[in-house]
Amino acid sequence: MQLQDILYSQGFGTRRVCAGLVQHGLVEVARDELDAPVPCLDATAEFETGGLQYRVQGVQWPYKEKAYVLLHKPAGTECSQKPSTYPSIYTLLPAPLRQRPTKSSIQGVQAVGRLDQDTTGMLLLSDDGQFIHRMSSPKKHVPKVYDVLVKHELVSEQIDRLLAGVVLDDDPRPVRAAACLQTSERCLRLTLTEGKYHQVKRMLAAVGNRVEGLHRSKIGALSMPADLGPGQWCWLGDADLAQVQLTEI
């Protein structure tokens, strides 16, 4: 693949912009995995993409045919390209991830589902439409684990009702927690396999309590990396993706 096309596919701008980056000596490429990247001034130079190592303006980037990333969403951010009140989570990502070309009308990686502005924790983003659909579909029953802080002291009857199922105002079908573990007087760990609007908050309200803090700590079998702070992101590898898509609880 030509270098300008590689850079375009990775979100570094139009092909003309990418060609300009190369011609101005801002792109370094390693011909071999054991070699250090060196400047390449030929935008039409051909490279194999597998294991390609390159730097753009001094920053090392891996070549990714499809992008899969995990963001530690901080409070006070919206999962929207056009936020209404709070900053968008997309401002936390580098420009190439936001500009990756896609077949849809919106470029860049897209959030797999949404978290409320005051909810923190694991948020997946990708430019792989099939992956986004698969992970978002309620038919796939991908478990998501939430650590919940509530206003009032929990009682066993509330835990029992969450497991048995509660009726929300927009659906006569009871919504059940796949698992529910009380971890302290006012904290519980709740596992859901579907994602309705404000579901955790509405389920707790239905049993007579109120959510005061909400953090998503696990998707599938993948837990939030301990060293990933709020607002930080990381690439997901093949092993991570396999864990994310596990449906066993």
Active site residues: 116
Quote the radius of gyration of the chain (alpha carbons, Å). 22
Distance CA(54)–CA(34), nearest Å, equals 12
Distance CA(195)–CA(164), nearest Å, equals 17
Indicate the helix (H) or strand (E) that contains 124. strand 120-126
Distance CA(113)–CA(100), nearest Å, equals 19
Distance CA(192)–CA(173), nearest Å, equals 15
Q: Which two tokens stand for residue 134?
A: 């698969």
